[in-house]
Amino acid sequence: MKVPFLNLYAQYLEIKDEIHAAFDDILQRTAFISGKYNERFEKEFREAIGAPYCLATSCGTSALHMALWALGLGPGDEVIVPVNTFIATSEVVSLTGAKPVFVDHDPETYNIDVTKIEAAITPRTKAIIPVHLYGQPANMDAIGEIARRCNLVVIEDACQAHLARFNGTMVGNFGRVAAFSFFPGKNLGAYGDAGAVVTNDESLHETIRRLRVHGGIERYIHDIEGHCYRMSEFQAAVLCVKLPHLRRWTARRQRVADMYRGFLDGVEQVTLPSVLEGAEHVYHLFVIRAPSDRREELRSYLNEQGIGAGLHYPIPLHLQKAYARFGHRLGDFPVAEQSCREILSLPMCPMLQDSQVEYVCEKIRAFFSR
Ligand SMILES: Cc1ncc(COP(=O)(O)O)c(C=O)c1O
């Protein structure tokens, strides 16, 4: 049996006719930029998240970058980010000229450790970017409380957590502004790069609207300098087709996660992901832990059995060459360093068959009973 890490082709087959009809429509009208699909997607995504404003962007990175840019962050400012995330979260801080300041993660949920945030705050700290990693909301009660007390702006990185909720509120509604990614493998994925910014702040929304297209709303009139960060109509069309299926696909991810939990229950060497009280996890990734001295062997064994497994992420940010300038060393963020040696992402997507989930778990059991 083959169990790919992600099966986008099977998903495409489910929606093929609608996708082809939308692409054909765009081609017939040769309306490739800022057309009706962008408008429709912004409205429908805003409604899905329950946020007042939404802007479609070229990717999640540009969405985050514009959020920080519009907030006026820049040289001399510090922004707190978790040390275990995709590098885009910290890259956008540097893009504004501000400094990313890393905080270790919680060993149970892999999200930022809220008990370690305050020690990282200095008089220069202006903002915090909680990441809802792997599809699980960060502890937004604790983060919101620290942000209020220390006067920090909260920018949510919701790139992996479409439709996730914390205490009943959907992610994207906790911070001043939030960014989503629609990279193809995300829970809601386009057929190329795409993203969105959502906010409840009208003036921020207006600034980002300008930043997105060279600083102006009217063509060749530039109120400020901006960038070219808009979404292609083809990507917006894919997202319009996929959005109505997102709830069902999310429920299937949650069902797959339950099945993994059931079938792996009692495998002593495997640690299953924990869910924070009040959090609704949408399982962008299903990340287990295995003893560090056997993780690589397990990964190769699964690959030999036709099972795709990934590492998210193999090196924590403070040890990446890109951040050598900060002078961090092994031992600075011990929890994330240990997790990196143990984590393994199992296949996860709504198209996984029950029999495939069962097969993955059987092989994990077989590995540990050898
Ligand atoms: C946590 C996180 N932040 C930001 C991004 C950036 O999104 P994009 O790849 O759409 O630019 C991603 C996507 O990979 C992500 O997973």
Q: Could you give all domains of the chain from N- to C-terminal order, each with its CATH number?
A: 8-103+110-243 (3.40.640.10), 245-368 (3.90.1150.10)
**Region 209-231: what's the mean pLDDT?**
97
Smallest CA separation from ligand 1 atom 12, residue: 159
Ligand 1 atom at minimum distance from 183 CA: 10
pLDDT tens by residue, 239-260: 999 999 999 999 999 999 999 9
Residues with Cβ within 8 Å of residue 79, at least 6 apart in sequence: 68, 73, 93, 98, 99, 100, 101, 125, 126, 127, 128, 129
Distance between CA atoms of 29 and 310, rounded to whole angstroms?
A: 41
Among 361, 271, 252, 253, CA closest to 307: 361
pLDDT tens by residue, 167-212: 999 999 999 999 999 999 999 999 999 999 999 999 999 999 999 9
With a cut of 90, say whether residue 213 has pLDDT above it. Answer: yes
pLDDT tens by residue, 88-144: 999 999 999 999 999 999 999 999 999 999 999 999 999 999 999 999 999 999 999
pLDDT tens by residue, 334-369: 999 999 999 999 999 999 999 999 999 999 999 999
The CB-based long-range contact list for 319-327 (8 Å cut-off, 24+ gap) reads: 320/87, 322/87, 323/90, 323/100
C-alpha 61 – ligand 1 centre gap (Å): 6
C-alpha 114 – ligand 1 centre gap (Å): 22
Q: What is the pLDDT of residue 66?
A: 98
Tokens of 40: 């429709």
- What's the pLDDT band for 34 if we cut at 50, 70, 90? confident
135: left (phi over 0), alpha (psi -120 to 50) or beta: left
Check pocket membership of 89 for ligand 1, CB cut-off 6 A: yes
Please state the pTM of the whole predicted model: 0.98
pLDDT above 70 as % of the chain: 100
Among 366, 32, 25, 352, CA closest to 192: 32
Check pocket membership of 157 for ligand 1, CB cut-off 6 A: yes
Average pLDDT, the chain: 98
Check pocket membership of 85 for ligand 1, CB cut-off 6 A: yes
